[in-house]
Amino acid sequence: MFRAKKFLKVAATFTAVVMAVTLVAACSGGGSSASGPLVIYSGRSEALIGDLLKTFTQETGIEVEVRYGDSGELAAQLLTEGSASPADVFFSQDAGALGALSQKNRFEVLPDNILSLVPERFRAANGEWVGVSGRVRVIAYDTNKVTNPPTTIDELLDPKWKGKIGFAPTNASWQSFVTALRVERGEQGADQWLREFAANNPRPYEKNSAVLDGIANGQIELGLVNHYYLYERKNAKGNETVAIANSYAKSGDVGGLVNVAGVGILDSTKKTEKAQQFVEFLLSPTAQNYFATKTFEFPLVSGIALGNPDLPNLTTLVGPNVDLSDLSSLAETQALLQKVGLLTK
C-alpha cells in the first residue's frame, strides 16, 4: 500500500509539470497562417506520395506538413473544422470527397493556367478542383475459376454469379460508380440495376483491398474495384502468387467509369500562392511520371508514359458519358443504396 502511494505521488507531480510545459508550449494561434509550412490534408497515403512531397520541397523550397487519412474521413474532418481549419490544400483520393467540400463552398477557384493542363472530363466544371491522376473501375476476377470475365455491368446480373461478386459498399469509388449509374441511366434505371444486383447476393467488404483478399482466398470470384489494386497487390505479394486479373469494361459501359484523385485549395488558406505552386507541381512531368510508375494510375497530363505494359491507353477507356462534377450527389446515391438494401444501414 505504501509503495503504491509513493508511486502515485511521483507520477502525479511529474504529470503536473509535463502538462504545464505542454500547455504553455502549445498556446500559439490556430487556423491557417501566412507563415510556416503548407498544410496538406491527404487522402492519399504516405507510402504513395511521401517521396513525391520531398521532391516538391527540394524543387520549390516550400516546407509541407501533411496529415494523412481516409479521404472521406478527412472531408468529414474539414467540414467539421469549418473556416477555422488549419489546412491549405486537400489532396483527395476521389472526386466525390472533393465534390462534397465544393458543395459547401470550401474551395477557392483555381486559375486557368492550371485547369487547362487537364482534359475537361477530369476536372470540376466550376474550376474548384482539378484531377491529378486517373483510375478505372474494373471487374477483377479469379483467373483459376473464371475464363470469360464480364465486360459490362449487366452481365454481372447473370444468376451464375450469385454470391460470387464482392464489392465495398461504403467505399467512395463504389459510390462514385453508383452515382455515375444514376446519372447515366436515370433514377429508375439505376434502381432497377441495383435491385437485380442485390438479388444476386453480392458480398460486402469494408474496402477495395479486402475485396481482392476475398478473391485471393476463394470467397468470391469477381470483385468490383479500381484497376491499380491488382498491380499494388502483385508488387506486395510477388507477381506469380497473385491469380487475379482485371477485366476492363466495354467502351461506354458505366462499369468502366474513369475517376480521378484530385486536389483543391481551401478557402480558409492564407497561402494561396504556395498552394497553387503545389497544385502545379502535381501536374508537372515529375509528379505525373511518379504516379504512372509508382501507383500504376493513369497520368492526366498528355505526353506521359504508362507505368505497366499491361495497362491499356487511357484514351481507349472511354467510360460512360458522365461529368465527374455530377458525381457529388452522394446524398441521393446513399438514399438509393439504402432503399435497395445495398448500404449498411
Partner 1 sequence: MSRLRAATGSVPPVLALVAVLGALLSIVPLLYLVIQATSDGLSNVATEIFDDATLALVGRSLLLCVVVTSLCAVIGTTAAFLCVRTNLPFRRILFVALALPLTMPSYVAAYAWVAERPNLAGFWGATLVLTSISFPFVMLPVAAAMRRLDSRHEEVGRSLGRTPVNLAFTLTLRQIRPSLTAGSLLVALYVLSDFGAVATMRYESFTWSIYGAYRAGFNPTRAATLSLLLVLIALAIVVGEEFARGRANLASVGSTTDRPPSTLDLHTWRWPTFAALLLVPIVALLLPILFIWQWFSEGASRNNNWSELFNAFGSTLWVAFLATAVTMLFAIPIALVAARIAKKWALATDRAVFVLHALPGLVVGLGVVAVGIRALPGLYQKIPMLIAAYVILYLSLAVGSIRASIERTPSSIDDAALSLGSSRLEVFRRITLPVAAPGILSGAALVFLTVAKELPATILLKPTGFETLATELWTRTTVFEFGAAAPYAIALILVAMIPTAFLSVRGWQ
* Closer by beta carbon to partner 1, 35 or else 80: 80
Is position 4 an interface residue for partner 1 (rule: CB under 8 A)?
yes
Judged by CB under 8 A, which of 105, 147, 148, 217 binds partner 1? 217
Query: What are the counts of helices (DSSP H) followed by strands (DSSP E) for the chain?
Result: 11, 10
315: contact with partner 1 by CB under 8 A: no
24 binds partner 1 (CB under 8 A): no
Within 66-85, which residues bind partner 1 (CB under 8 A)?
66-70, 72-73, 75-77, 79-82, 84-85
- Map residues 147-176 to x or -, x wherever contact with partner 1 holds by CB under 8 A: ----------------------xxxx--x-
- Residue 17 makes contact with partner 1 by CB under 8 A: no
Judging by DSSP bridges, how do beta strands 38-42 and 64-68 pair with one another?
A: parallel
Name the pairing type of β-strands 222-226 and 165-167. Answer: parallel
**Residues 68 and 42: beta-carbon distance below 8 Å:** yes
Q: Which stretch binds partner 1 (CB under 8 A): 55-63, 118-126, 194-202, 328-336?
A: 328-336
318 vs 252: CA distance, rounded Å = 6
Residue from 49, 89, 100, 132 binding partner 1 (CB under 8 A): 100
Is residue 61 within 8 A of residue 247, CB to CB? The reply is no
Q: Which of 61, 159, 238, 309 binds partner 1 (CB under 8 A)?
A: 238
Q: Determine which residue in the list 106, 233, 271, 274 makes contact with partner 1, applying CB under 8 A.
A: 233
| 309 near partner 1, judged by CB under 8 A | no
Q: Any contact of residue 205 with partner 1 (CB under 8 A)?
A: yes
Select from 110, 47, 99, 50 the least CA-distant residue to 75.
99
3-state secondary structure of 142: strand
Q: How far is CA 314 from CA 63, 254, 308, 319, in A?
A: 33, 15, 13, 10
- Quick one: which of 34, 105, 112, 345 contacts partner 1 (CB under 8 A)? 345
Determine, following the binding rule CB under 8 A, whether residue 338 of this chain makes contact with partner 1: yes
Q: Which run of H or of E encompasses 66?
A: strand 64-68
In whole angstroms, what is the distance from residue 342 CA to residue 229 CA? 23
Cβ 148 to partner 1, closest distance in Å?
25
**Would you say 86 and 32 are in contact if contact means Cβ atoms under 8 Å apart?**
yes
Minimal distance, residue 129 CB to partner 1, in Å: 15
Work out which of 59, 63, 206, 323 binds partner 1, going by CB under 8 A: 206
Report the residue number, 20 or 158, with the smaller CB distance to partner 1: 20
Strand partners, 131: 262
Site for partner 1 in 111-130 (CB under 8 A): none
Q: How far is the CB of 259 from partner 1 (least distance, A)?
A: 14
Given candidates 236, 243, 285, 302, which one binds partner 1 under the rule CB under 8 A?
A: 236
Taking the C-alpha atoms of residue 5 and residue 163, their distance in angstroms, rounded to an integer, is 60
Region of 127 on the Ramachandran plot (φ > 0 left; ψ -120 to 50 alpha; else beta): left
Task: Tell me: does residue 97 bind partner 1 (CB under 8 A).
Answer: yes
- Pick the closer one to partner 1 by CB: 75 or 136: 75
Binding partner 1 (rule: CB under 8 A), the pick from 110, 263, 330, 340 is: 330
∠204-154-262 over CA atoms, to 5°? Answer: 60
